[in-house]
């Protein structure tokens, strides 16, 4: 779920708290506010509820935590906290009144019982208490704590003595939650946010123990990130940007040299990740993506980057933005990577993670050419937010998207893993079952009894205007759209000991061309019990006019592997993949 665009604060006030379709009164708006016209185009996502003293919006969520639906009207806590900061940032004669009401309501909604497992955090919605969430989201201590830090640090004078006392109290509780939880350093965005919140709170509350925690965590996070090779939540259009802005906040607010030095270095390295993976010809963030909510760049996150590289961003697209004085521009030498002068073609190869238990490493390969790009991760999970193999090229109004997936019915199946090796526009892919990985989410709703399902699909797609799928040989399927195509060399596939290679199909559904292996399920799948299961294919991304005749994919035994594995070959590409359920 995305945070509310800070600019919508203007509409909420200007409309008297009823609709987002009206602009603020010119007499009430400052010159700074007046430049952000056009926000009426966002539509009525949020409005101010005068009775509740919070925002009101439609319910619903990403499939976990909340059981509310879009048919329900709810009062969100995080977005209301964001709204309070927006009111303070952009000013309005009535801003203080609403800010104080929001702070008092947030104090009422926090779990303040120190013996509770959810102490210091908030529910997503007032209508759904923490006790009713499945599960409660402890990250809300970080998100709302960050907003309270900004409010107290930059606009404390707007709070009444009572509201300031309440804000200090709930911020301290949030810090206690953060420190007690002490998330793993691989939980990138939450770990960085924890440093920011406790560091700022240590200053605001005059509590050296909070500052000490932030210093220690910054040192640990910096060392861990360098040991891994980069941010564990790697190359994410959502969470790399969040990490970037949190590191930016640390650099902006915290002067302690023990924190500032490491944060500044990580801030620079995070900008390098963004710059080195941006593909100017398609205006897309090239893969692989550890986590992303959409295939194409969303209008609610990317404008944060665009504004910092000096682009003129329409006001209605400046989601999550505070006034420019709170942001730090992109390093000057990296700005060229966002322009037509970016060095192309090039290949970026980097290690994202190293696992101490068995020495496994996750490597990312990204090929960026003048018209197309392709990225892959050497080890990945096939859940909804992961893009282990994804590519883009120019299409019609939108770029064409190429993806590799494992799906159960209509959803990406988190209990399958994917391995890949890549050379420029060619990638060799294998998919196999995972243990203890969940259905739609890797860390939630796990079941040893398996998961309901009617069909499993090892799938490659090309989505774009005029997409077409056609079989060009017994072991080759061509997926095309725009001026490029993905030629799929259909490799050997086995499911639970059965050869299902002959089930490769090709078809077109609207603007999506597909090559896939569908495997019927008898109403249920138990990944941990699967034997001899491996899907394989090789893919060449080439211009439509190019005659592609890639070799066949072959699969043999991998005798030196730690678990039952297969050795895949496709021309000069080699890949070893598990063929039985494993942990990653």
Task: Return the closest-CA partner of residue 28 out of 5, 7, 11, 40.
Answer: 11
d(CA 568, CA 179): 46
Give me the pLDDT at residue 39, please: 25
**Mean of pLDDT over the chain:** 90
pLDDT bin (cut points 50, 70, 90) of residue 63 is confident
Phi, psi of 408, deg, nearest 5: -115, 115
pLDDT bin (cut points 50, 70, 90) of residue 32 is very low
The pLDDT of residue 23 is above 50: no
Q: Which two tokens stand for residue 119?
A: 């102490």
pLDDT bin (cut points 50, 70, 90) of residue 482 is very high
Is the separation of the CB atoms in 491 and 537 below 8 Å? Answer: yes
- Span 373-392, pLDDT tens digits: 999 999 999 999 999 999 99
Give me the pLDDT at residue 64, please: 84
- Span 107-147, pLDDT tens digits: 999 999 999 999 999 999 999 999 999 999 999 999 999 99
The pLDDT of residue 268 is above 80: yes
d(CA 69, CA 537): 39
The dihedral through the CA atoms of 209, 215, 220, 225 has a sign that is positive
Is the separation of the CB atoms in 9 and 87 below 8 Å? Answer: yes
* Total residues belonging to the chain: 584
Task: Return the closest-CA partner of residue 93 out of 48, 21, 33, 162.
Answer: 33
Contact residues for 251 (Cβ-Cβ < 8 A; gap 6+): 260, 263, 264, 267, 328
Is the separation of the CB atoms in 575 and 463 below 8 Å? Answer: no
The pLDDT of residue 456 is above 60: yes
- The residue ranges of every structural domain in the chain are 205-343, 347-578
Better-predicted residue by pLDDT, 400 or 304? 400
d(CA 177, CA 119): 6
Q: What percent of the chain has pLDDT over 70?
A: 91
Contact residues for 357 (Cβ-Cβ < 8 A; gap 6+): none
- Span 331-340, pLDDT tens digits: 999 999 999 9
pLDDT bin (cut points 50, 70, 90) of residue 570 is very high
- Tell me the C-alpha to C-alpha distance, in Å, between residue 260 and each of 186, 189, 256, 302, 486: 21, 17, 6, 25, 46
Task: Return the closest-CA partner of residue 147 out of 49, 44, 41, 76.
Answer: 76
pTM: 0.90
Average pLDDT of span 347-356: 94
The pLDDT of residue 475 is above 80: yes
Average pLDDT of span 518-538: 95
The pLDDT of residue 73 is above 80: yes
Task: Outline where DSSP puts E strands in 13-112.
Answer: 47-49, 54-58, 73-74
Average pLDDT of span 56-76: 92
pLDDT bin (cut points 50, 70, 90) of residue 44 is low
Q: What percent of the chain has pLDDT over 90?
A: 79
Task: Return the closest-CA partner of residue 79 out of 36, 117, 121, 124.
Answer: 124
Give me the pLDDT at residue 474, please: 94
């Amino acid at each position: 779920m995305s945070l509310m665009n800070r600019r919508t604060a203007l509409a909420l006030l200007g409309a008297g708290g009823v609709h987002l379709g009206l602009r603020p009164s010119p007499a009430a708006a400052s010159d700074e506010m007046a430049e952000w016209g056009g926000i009426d185009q966002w539509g009525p996502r949020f409005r101010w509820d005068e009775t509740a003293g919070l925002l009101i919006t439609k319910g619903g969520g990403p499939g976990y935590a909340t059981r509310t639906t879009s048919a329900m009207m709810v009062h969100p806590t995080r977005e209301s906290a964001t709204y309070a900061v927006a009111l303070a940032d952009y000013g309005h004669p009535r801003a203080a009144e609403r800010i104080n009401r929001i702070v008092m309501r947030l104090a009422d909604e926090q779990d303040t019982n120190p013996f509770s497992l959810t102490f210091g955090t908030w529910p997503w919605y007032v209508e759904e208490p923490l006790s009713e969430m499945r599960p409660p989201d402890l990250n809300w201590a970080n998100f709302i704590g960050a907003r309270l830090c900004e409010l107290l640090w930059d606009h404390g004078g707007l709070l009444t003595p009572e509201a300031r006392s309440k804000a200090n109290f709930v911020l301290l509780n949030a810090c206690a939650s953060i420190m007690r939880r002490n998330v793993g350093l691989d939980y990138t965005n939450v770990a960085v946010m924890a440093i920011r919140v406790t560091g700022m709170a240590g200053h605001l509350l005059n509590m050296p123990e909070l500052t000490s925690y932030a210093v220690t965590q910054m040192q640990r996070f910096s060392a861990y990130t360098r040991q891994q090779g980069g941010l564990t939540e790697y190359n994410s259009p959502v969470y790399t940007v969040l990490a970037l802005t949190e590191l930016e906040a640390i650099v902006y607010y915290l002067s302690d040299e023990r924190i500032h030095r490491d944060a500044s270095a990580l801030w620079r390295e995070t900008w390098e990740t963004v710059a080195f993976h941006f593909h100017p010809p398609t205006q897309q963030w090239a893969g692989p993506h550890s986590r992303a909510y959409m295939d194409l760049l969303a209008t609610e996150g990317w404008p944060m980057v665009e504004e910092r590289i000096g682009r003129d961003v329409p006001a209605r697209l400046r989601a999550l933005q505070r006034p420019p004085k709170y942001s730090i521009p992109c390093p000057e030498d990296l700005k060229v990577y966002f322009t037509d002068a970016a060095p192309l073609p090039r290949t970026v190869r980097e290690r994202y993670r190293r696992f101490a238990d068995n020495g496994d490493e996750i490597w990312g390969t990204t090929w960026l050419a003048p018209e197309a790009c392709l990225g892959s991760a050497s080890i990945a999970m096939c859940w909804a937010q992961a893009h282990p193999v994804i590519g883009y090229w120019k299409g019609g109004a939108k770029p064409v998207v190429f993806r590799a997936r494992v799906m159960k019915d209509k959803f990406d199946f988190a209990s399958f893993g994917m391995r890949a090796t890549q050379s420029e526009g060619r990638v060799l892919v294998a998919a196999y079952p995972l243990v203890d990985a969940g259905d739609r989410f890797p860390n939630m709703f796990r079941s040893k009894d398996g998961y309901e399902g009617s069909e499993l699909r090892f799938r490659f797609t090309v989505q774009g205007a005029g997409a077409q799928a056609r079989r060009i040989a017994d072991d080759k399927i061509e997926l095309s759209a725009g001026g490029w195509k993905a030629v799929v060399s259909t490799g050997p596939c086995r499911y639970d000991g059965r050869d299902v290679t002959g089930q490769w199909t090709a078809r077109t559904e609207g603007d999506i061309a597909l090559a896939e292996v569908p495997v019927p399920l008898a109403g249920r799948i138990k990944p941990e019990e699967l034997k001899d299961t491996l899907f394989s294919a090789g893919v060449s991304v080439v211009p439509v006019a190019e005659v592609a005749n890639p070799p066949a994919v072959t699969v043999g035994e991998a005798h030196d592997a730690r678990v039952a594995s297969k050795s895949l070959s496709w021309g000069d590409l080699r890949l070893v993949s598990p063929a039985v359920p494993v942990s990653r």
